[in-house]
Amino acid sequence: MDTSQLFCLVFFLCFVYIFIYSQHFGRPRWADHKVRSLRPAWPTW
């Protein structure tokens, strides 16, 4: 295993960790973007 493969592995593991962390704690970013695109900018109450 050379340096580039090790770098890719570390990068991938960090990405997976951040993805799982965002799924468990707080709302995931894609859902937040989806909700923001569906609702109007002004308050609806």
Confidence of residue 7 (pLDDT cuts 50, 70, 90): very high
Check whether 32 has a pLDDT greater than 90.
no
Lowest mean pLDDT across 13-17, 20-24, 30-34: 30-34
**pTM as predicted:** 0.44
Q: What is the DSSP string of 1-44?
A: --HHHHHHHHHHHHHHHHHHHHHHSS--HHHHHHHHHHS-SS--
- In this structure, what DSSP letter does residue 45 have? -
CA distances from 25 to 7, 12, 33, 38, 41 (A): 27, 20, 16, 23, 25
Report pLDDT for 19. Answer: 84
